[in-house]
A = this chain, B = another copy of it.
Amino acid sequence: MEVTNRYIVTKHHIEGTPQESDFELKTGALSLSVEPGKKDVIVKNLYLSIDPYQLNRMKRKSSSQETKDFAGAITPSQAIDAYGVGRVVASGNPDFKKDDLVAGLLSWGEYSTIKEGGLLNKVDNMGFPISYHAGILAFSGLTAYAGFFNVCKPKKGEKVFVSAASGSVGNLVGQYAKLFGCYVVGCAGSQKKVDLLKEKLGFDEAFNYKEETDLKSTLKRYFPDGIDIYFDNVGAKMLDAAIENMNTFGRVAVCGVIAEYTDKGKRAAPNMVDVVYKRITIQGFLAADHMKDYKDFISNTTEYIQSGKLQVLEDISDGVESIPSGFVGLFRGDNIGKRMVKVGED
């Protein structure tokens, strides 16, 4: 059997802020059977993750080694791999059979072909909405969990600041931190998001950074006794302001710098004198390095969700053609919670 697979590609490398016109929808015939002897798995995609880091893969390869060990460059006109969840429609791999629910590195389209050795795992749904397996129970959740517990090494009662706090990772960091017993302040880019953080997610305080003119004073106001932990999703001036307000032995976990992805000129310039005298640690990390904590993460997180202690924020668009606008919107801060696209019915 053969189907028409619709998928999204970039037309060219993207250097600045992405536009919808940088993308196009392609169509190709796809046979839903695996050639004998091949171990491919063909998956009908259900939910796909839309993440800011993909922009770095769309840039022209620079001399910098920044993506060398993480995710390879995206080639214009070629399918774009992305984490997601789907159903197996055909498998030449004995580990997977038709109708298995699987999550892994799929692609921004209606179907994915996963070669032998590709990232793919069977999913135990545990009664959750399927989308959870592309978001909170996948890399967004693990990033928040491992970043907060392993990188920030919190102590109860510590003061935690989270930027992009209504985003896919930030909202979870704040919630984990509250559940752990920290004081948590988040910042976001609209009053609506601020209200959500305080009223629905239980943040102690939140503010709209777009309404603040002097971030250093703002943070001083929200943290009169200083910041112990800063979970940084944005970089640039917010990082500088946080360093200025940190306590001795403060820790900064950096898992993304969305303010710097679209503008190379917009860089953090933290006061290194503060970094020395306050013995601050700034640590970049990726969730993939913390797979040893995956089981802990899943067992704690599913329990928190089931008991209603952890709110799941999803922001799901519909149809493969919505991927470009969904992706572009991330850089305007359109999303509340985890941005995904639903590309197929189960």
Binding site for B on A (CB under 8 A): 56, 63-70, 220, 226, 235, 239, 244, 248, 254-257, 260-261, 267-286, 289
Contact = CB atoms under 8 A, between A and B. Distances in A.
Copies in the complex: 2
B56 A273 contact: yes
B286 A273 contact: no
Nearest to A236: B272
Main secondary structure of the interface of A (DSSP, over half): loop
B248 A272 contact: no
A146 B279 CA distance: 13
Contact of A277 (B56, B220, B271, B280): B56
Contact of A257 (B235, B261, B276): B276
Nearest to A275: B284
Contacts of A260: 271-273
Contacts of A254: 272, 275-276
Given A64-B271, A64-B274, A269-B267, A283 B284 contact: no
B277 A267 contact: no
Contact of A267 (B63, B235, B272, B278): B272
Nearest to A56: B273
Contact of A279 (B226, B248, B276, B285): B285
A274 B70 CA distance: 11
Contacts of A70: 277
Contacts of A280: 283-284
A229 to B, nearest CB: 15
Given A281-B284, A284-B281, A273 B257 contact: yes
B282 A286 contact: no
